[in-house]
Structure 1
Amino acid sequence: MFIVFYLLILTSCSRYFAQGQINYERESRDSCVIARTNENGVCKILSNCPSEQANLKNKLFPTVCGFNGNEIMVCCATELPNRKTREPGEIADEMCRNYSQYVWTEELSPLSIINPAPIKRYDCPFDKLPLILGGTESDRKEFPHMVQLGFDEEPGITWGCGGTLISNQHVLTAAHCIEHKTLGFVKFARMGFIKVDDARHRQEFKIIERITHPQYEPPAHYHDIAIVKLDQKPDLNLYVRPACIYTKRKAPGTRAIVTGWGKIQDGGDESKVLLKTILEYYDRDYCSKVFKRQSSLKEGIRDDIMICAGFRNETRDACQGDSGGPLQVYTLQKGDHMACMYDIIGVTSFGIGCGIATEIPGVYTRVSNYVKWIEDIVWPQ
């Protein structure tokens, strides 16, 4: 397989030969800029740059520096040392506190005409909206971390997966959302809206980097998690802001919320408004019995990397188009720095149809198992 990628690189390099842009025998200490992301890097032999090898598998071609003998040299992102030795989850919790500042807004006091002092206001729809059982429409600003991912299709974009904004430039999603079997690789992201035809606060972006978990090997469902990077940083506000990464092993409470613009019923049309529903956790033994005949689960349901959730008394479930979206709970720690935030505990992965029976749960990738992997990509410093 690597030979095929090598040939693809050689083909892409032909343009540089024609333009005289290839410098032979450049050394790995030479600095460079990755054209795709505008990040600084150093020239390395492709086989010594795991990040660009991974991008190449997703058909994101590297910036070519030249050749070292017969080996291609590419611009490889500079690996920056950690500022200190840290425990997994430490930086995720720190960034959660940082992003919670966008729950507050500043307004000028109407009572002061000369040099009016700004008034900070706490704007949290969670405090105003009760949790309603069953699939219901979300309120504006209720899930500001929700992202919709799109694929290229003439004459427009097909929006086919969900995701979660987890930093000022990264979206967490499912690995199986990275490439569609007929539409190709995911290329677009949009956020800041509830209704798909309401563009008032909508922000749209191109995807410049796609990173699937290295242990994801389809058609198996294990390690179904990925991160995409946006071409620009969103304007963070009450309508768009990152969610928190849940870092503890055991999911909190007994229920969680799933959201998405997916199909309203199996084989039906996608929802035109963001829907939410509350699900209950299922234990591993029951979930294993439900999915015991799945050929894509040779190890069965793995409790360390999966969460089963559904509802026993009603047909509630995620559906097609919800893949990659979050399974979430309200952040338990309250106070000025952590209020009105969500903890992402799972990524919507797979099920048997959707909403076809009351006793069939869906399966979600357990985010807490991947905290270090997420942090190393999103916050490498």
Structure 2
Amino acid sequence: MLCQKDHFSIPDHVTYLNCAYMSPQLKTVMDAGIEAAHIKNYPFQIKAEDFFNATTLLRQTFSKLIGNPDPDRIAVIPSVSYGMAIVSKNLNLQAGEEILLTHEQFPSNFYPWQKLACEKKGRLVIVEAPNEDDRGKKWNEKILENINEKTKLVTIGNVHWADGTKFDLKAIRQRTSEVGALLVVDGTQSVGALPFDVGDIQPDALVCSGYKWLLGPYSMAFAYFGSFFDDGDPIEENWINRHNSEDFAGLVAYESNYKEKALRYAVGEHSNFSLTPMMQKALEQLNEWGASNIQQYCSQLTKAPIAELLSLGFRIENENYRGSHLIGIRVPDHLDVKALSNQFKKHDVYISVRGNAIRVAPHVYNDQNDMDKLVEIIKKAAL
């Protein structure tokens, strides 16, 4: 795969290595948004089927990205917190039962469980990363060791949002199945750039924001729900997630039954005539590129820089336990991370700092010049 920077509008002097914060917008996505902005100028042209057809296609396109054969298992939602609230509402947590999380998990995948555990007298089990060699391997081992008969739910990212540590979801799925626990995956920092197949992992739920690695607009997200949630309760009572909602003339013939599978969980106004076309274009492009190709491109792009930084005393997770698209570079104690961050800004290099780590998140719009610029700034600070 070659560099795809021409698909974006990033200025030549900018080195943007922060897709984990927010993706830049594809030109095709911008064009779709501009065209969509005109739709409501002519509301008389919006037909009843338009409330459903675009999101049906959107669910089909997202399903292709995650290897899901049944688009009715996908709900269009506005955020990860919305999806996690659905899981929380349908999790019958009993006193003494446990919810397992990783340390410093993203807040949207922490607060729901903190509140639920408090209300139901359950227990949060937060597995910290070991501060030693083979950190990723041993962190995964600790997670498996802490899953037991009291575990009701394991909720985890495919990779850790702060440093890219990769979690062995297949092993975690096997262990949760052994003890009868649910597995819920936050795919926000992985889906779109790291291959994910629901048939392979078999999560009970997968929730994913659209504005990062899915290259879509803010306030669009997706949730896959497995069979555990087929008869669950949504967190809002809207007209569009009920049976026969396509029949506008019969909407006041109130329907007590929800739509099947994940469709019952769709957010109200999910038809969103402005954002849906933008998200559709982004997903189509990702399916064309392929997550495995994106991951391979990022791997090739970062291989030499990582080797050089390791030789200078920086710590980076073993490639078997990290994604190539999201890399935590842990800084030696003698370096001032804030001062280093200021140097990046001075030279128009955009990354994130998370704790004592530089979070580097490249994509197909980056090239070797971007990586050389990053390494050169770090080397000047280190030597």
- With the length of structure 1 as denominator, give the TM-score of the two structures: 0.27
Task: With a CA cutoff of 8 Å and minimum separation of 6, indicate the structure with the bigger relative contact order.
Answer: 2
Structure with the higher fraction of residues in helix conformation: 2
